[in-house]
Structure 1
Amino acid sequence: MSRTRVARKLAPLLILAAAIVGFLVLRATGPSAPPPEASERAWQVRGIAVDPALNRPTLQLYGRTSSPQTATLRAAIEGEIASVPVRAGAIAEAEALLVRIDAEETLLNLAQREAEWNEATAAVQSERVRAEADAQALVRERALVQIAQRGLARARDLRARDLGSDAAVDDAQRSLEQARLAVDARERAVADAPSRLAQAEAREARLRAAVERARLDLNRAEIRADANCRVVEVHVTPGERVRVGDPLVRLYALDALEIRASLPEVVLPRITRLLAQEQPLPAEGSVAGQPIRAELVRLAGETREGEAGISALFRVTEGAGDLPLNRFVNLQLRLPEEPDSIAVPFEALYGRDRVYRVVDARLQGLQVERLGEITDAEGQTRALIRHPELESGDVLAATRLPNAVDGLQVEVEMNSTAETR
C-alpha cells in the first residue's frame, strides 16, 4: 500500500526528468545556426554638387540709425521767445529759421555799448591832441626858462653895480624856478603821454569788442540751421522767457546720418581688410517702402553693452529724409566678387565654417572660408564658401546629422536642383 503511493508520486517527476534529458540531448546533437554578421548603418543624406564660380556675396545686417552730429541748440541771450516756426520731426533746410528770440533788450544793450565805444574813441583822439599840445608847450616853456635865466643874470649884474635891489634878484630867481617847475611838469606830461594813449586805446578796444559782442548777440536772436537737418525735439514755445544756456531745439544733420549694424565674426577680418584697401562697400535697404542706400565707412571703436561683436557704421547716401533716429533698418551689404566661391544651403554648414564632403560614401570634414551670402535665381538665400580642395563635381552633404563625424557612412540622394545647375 505504501509502495504504491510512493510510485504514484515519483512517476511524474521521472517523466519530467526524462523529458529534460531528451531536450538537452537533442539540442546538443542538432545543427548550429551561423552567427549573425554585423552590418554598418548608412545614413540617408541629401547631396549637392559643387560648382565653384565667380560670385558676389552679400550680408544681411540689422542695425539702427544714429548720428554723430546730434546737437541741442541753446539760447545765447536772455529774452522772450518771439516765434518757433518748426515742429518736432520737421526737416529744415540750411539757413532755415528755427527759433526767434525777441531782440529788444539786445538792441538796447548794443546802443549802450556803441555809445561807450564812441566815448572811448573820442578819448583816444583827445589824448593824441593833448600829447601834441604838451610837446609844443614844452618847447615854449623851455624858452621861458632861458629867458628867466637871462633875467636873473641881469638882476644880479644890476645889484652888483648897485643899480638894482635884492628884491629884484629874488623876483627873477622866483620866475626862473617857476619856469623850471613848469618845464618839469610838462616833461612828465610828455613822457606820460604814450601810457595815457595806450590806456585810452585799450579802453576803446575793450568797448569795441563789447560792441561786437552785442552785435553777435543780436544775430543770435535768430537761431538758424547750419545745414539740412531734422528736428528731433522743440523745448520752447512763443512767449516763454529763456536764459542763457536754456535748451531750444534738438536736431541732427541729414548728411551725417549713419546706420550702426553688428557684423558677424566670420566676416570681420575680411571687412577690415577691404576697408584698409579703400574698397567701396555699398549697402541697400528699404524703410516703409522707401529705398535706402548707404556705404560702409568705418568700424566702431568700442563694443556697446548688449552687442555681440564689432559694429559697422554706414553713411546714408540716399533716403536720409525718411529715416528718424533709432529706426530699425535691414541692410544688405554687397561685397566684392569672389572667385572660386561656392553657394551652399545653410543645412550644409556645421557650426560657422565646417562642411562635409562625401568621398566613397563616407563623410570628410573640411574647414571652409565663409565669404557671405548670396540670393539665387529662385530667391533663396545661400551661404557662400570657399575651399582650395573643393572642385567642380564634388558632393557635399546638405543634411544636418547630429552624429556627423569624419568617416561616417552615408547614402546620398542628390539634389535635383543642384544637379541641374
Structure 2
Amino acid sequence: MASPSQPHRATHRFIWILPLVIIFLSIAGFYWLKVNRADTPFSAPEMQRWNVQAQQVEWITAQAETDVFGQVTSHGLATLTSAVTAELLQLNVNEGQGVSEHTLLAQLDKDDLLLQLRQRQADYEAAQARIAAEQVRYDADRQALALDEELLQIQQRKLRRLEDLSQRNLSSQEQLDTARIAQQQQALAVNSRRMALADHPNRLRQAEAEQVRTQALKDQAERDLIRTEIRAPFTGRVAERLASVGERLRPGDPILSLYDLSNLEVKALLPSSSLARFRQQLANPEQKVLAHAYIDGQAFTLHLDRLAADSHNSRTGIEAYFRFQDAPGFQNLVARLH
C-alpha cells in the first residue's frame, strides 16, 4: 500500500522543474531569432533643408526710430470762475463746443452790482463837492481875515483913546474894560481865521484822498459790472461745464473750463534707453526730432519740444512733449507716435 505523502512529493518536484523549462525555452527562442533575422541595409539620415529668399541691400544714412503711445493735452487749460457774487443767468456753450476769442460764454445777474455802482458814484460826487466847498471856504476865510484884521486895528485905536481919556479922568473904568474885552475878542477871531487858513492844505488833501478812495471804489464797481459777462480769453474749445443756470455763485466758484487750441501737444513716455540720444538731438538747434502721430485714423506731424525736468520712480523713462504743426482740435485723445 502506497504512502499518502508520495503525491505531495511529486507535485513539489514539478514546481521546481517548470521554471527551468521556461528559462531554457526562452533562451532557445532568442538564439533562433538572432540566427534567422533579416539583414537591414544601412541608410544615412537626410540633411534638413530650409527655403530662403535673397534680397539686395544697400548702405543708407538713417536715424533711429521709436514707437510710443501718448496723450493729447494742452498746457493752455483755463478754468473760468466768477469774480462777483451773483446768480448765473445764462450759460451759452456746451462741452466740446469751439469758441472764438471774446465770445460771450456766460452771463451773471448784474442788478445788485448796478445798485452798488450808483452808491459808489454818489460817494464820488460827494467827495468832489467837499473839495469844492473847501476851496470856497478858503476864499471866504482870506477875505474875512482882512476884515478881522481891520476890525482889530479899530479896536486897538479905540482902546488907546480910552486909556488916554482914563488918565485924564475923562472916561470911566467900565468903558475901558469893555474896550479891552472887545479888543481881545477881535484878536482871538483873527487868530482863528489865520489857523483856518493855515489848515486849508490839510483839509484839501483829506478831501482829495477821499475823492481818490471813492474813485477807486467806483472803478471797482464798474469792473465788477463788466465781469458779469464771462468771455473767452482765447480761441479754444470748451472742456467742461462746471456750473448750472440758476446757481448763486461766489467769487472763485468755477463756471467752465476752456483749453487753447494753439497750445495742444502730445505727452508721451520715452524709454530710458533712448534718453541720451534725444537729449543730444535737443541740444542741437539745427536738428529737429520729428514724429508722426496717428490720432483717430488721421496722420499728424509733430516735433519734440522739450523733456520733463524729472522722472517718477514708478516709471521707466521720462515724459516728452511734442508740439503739433497742425493741431487736431481735441485733447485727451490717445496718439501713437512713430
SS in 2 for 1:297: strand
2:67 corresponds to 1:60: yes
C-alpha deviation, 1:143, in angstroms: 2.7
C-alpha deviation, 1:48, in angstroms: 9.2
C-alpha deviation, 1:256, in angstroms: 1.7
C-alpha deviation, 1:239, in angstroms: 2.2
C-alpha deviation, 1:136, in angstroms: 3.0
SS in 2 for 1:185: helix
2:274 corresponds to 1:274: no
SS in 1 for 2:222: helix
Match of 2:8 in 1: none
Give the whole-Å Cα distance in 2 for the aligned partners of 1:125 and 1:280. 69
The answer to whether the Cα contact below 8 Å between 1:291 and 1:319 also exists between their aligned partners in 2 is no
Match of 1:364 in 2: none
C-alpha deviation, 1:221, in angstroms: 0.4
When normalised by structure 2's length, the TM-score is: 0.78
Match of 1:413 in 2: none
The answer to whether the Cα contact below 8 Å between 2:237 and 2:260 also exists between their aligned partners in 1 is yes
C-alpha deviation, 1:128, in angstroms: 2.1
Match of 2:188 in 1: 181
Give the whole-Å Cα distance in 2 for the aligned partners of 1:290 and 1:222. 38
May I ask how many residue pairs the two structures share in their alignment?
A: 286
The answer to whether the Cα contact below 8 Å between 2:261 and 2:327 also exists between their aligned partners in 1 is no
Match of 1:217 in 2: 224
2:320 corresponds to 1:312: yes
User: What stretches of structure 2 of length at least 5 have no aligned partner?
Assistant: 1-51
Match of 1:149 in 2: 156
Give the whole-Å Cα distance in 1 for the aligned partners of 2:54 and 2:128. 95
Q: What is the RMSD of the two structures over their aligned residues, measured on CA atoms?
A: 2.3
Corresponding letter in the other structure for 1:69: G
Corresponding letter in the other structure for 2:309: G
Give the whole-Å Cα distance in 2 for the aligned partners of 1:48 and 1:147. 131
C-alpha deviation, 1:225, in angstroms: 0.8
Q: Describe the shift of the 1:256–1:283 C-alpha distance in structure 2 as closer, same or farther (beyond 3 A).
A: same
Q: Which one of the candidate residues 260, 266, 290 is aligned to 1:253? A: 260
C-alpha deviation, 1:203, in angstroms: 1.3
**Which of 1 and 2 has greater Rg?**
2
C-alpha deviation, 1:233, in angstroms: 1.1
User: Could you say which structure has the higher helix fraction?
Assistant: 2
Match of 1:27 in 2: none
Give the whole-Å Cα distance in 2 for the aligned partners of 1:54 and 1:221. 61
Any residues of structure 2 matched to 1:11-22 within 5 Å, and which? none
Corresponding letter in the other structure for 1:199: Q
Any residues of structure 2 matched to 1:321-332 within 5 Å, and which? 321=329, 323-325=330-332, 327-332=333-338
SS in 1 for 2:225: helix
The answer to whether the Cα contact below 8 Å between 1:255 and 1:320 also exists between their aligned partners in 2 is no
Any residues of structure 2 matched to 1:108-147 within 5 Å, and which? 108-147=115-154
SS in 2 for 1:87: coil
Per-residue Cα deviation, 1:292-341 (whole angstroms, up to 9, x for no partner)? 333321111122464321111122331241x223x211123xxxxxxxxx
Match of 1:107 in 2: 114
The percentage of aligned residue pairs carrying the same residue is: 37
